[in-house]
Amino acid sequence: MKETAKDTVTGNNIGLITGAANIGNEIGMSATQVYSAFTAGHLGPVFKLGGKLAVRRSKLETWISALEAA
């Protein structure tokens, strides 16, 4: 059976990063900055899951690539 790589932040197999602090660590922002940007609608792929901010690593990478290309 092939082993799936686990997410380095949350240890899950679906590439999910949870919590504003963890998302911020990935993109060089503080938790406060992440939450403010999310509230203002500036963090496209980020969503709320069980009261926490969350994002799939793959979606975050795609979103950042699109910003770089713009």
pLDDT given for residue 1 in this prediction = 42
pTM above threshold 0.75? yes
pLDDT given for residue 70 in this prediction = 86
pLDDT given for residue 23 in this prediction = 97
> Would you call 23 exposed, middle or buried from its count of C-beta atoms within 10 A (0-12, 13-18, 19+)?
buried
Concatenating the DSSP letter of every residue in 4-40 gives PPPPTTT--SS-EEESHHHHHHHHT--HHHHHHHHHT
Give pLDDT tens digits for 5-64: 445 565 667 899 999 999 999 999 999 999 999 999 999 999 999 999 999 999 999 999
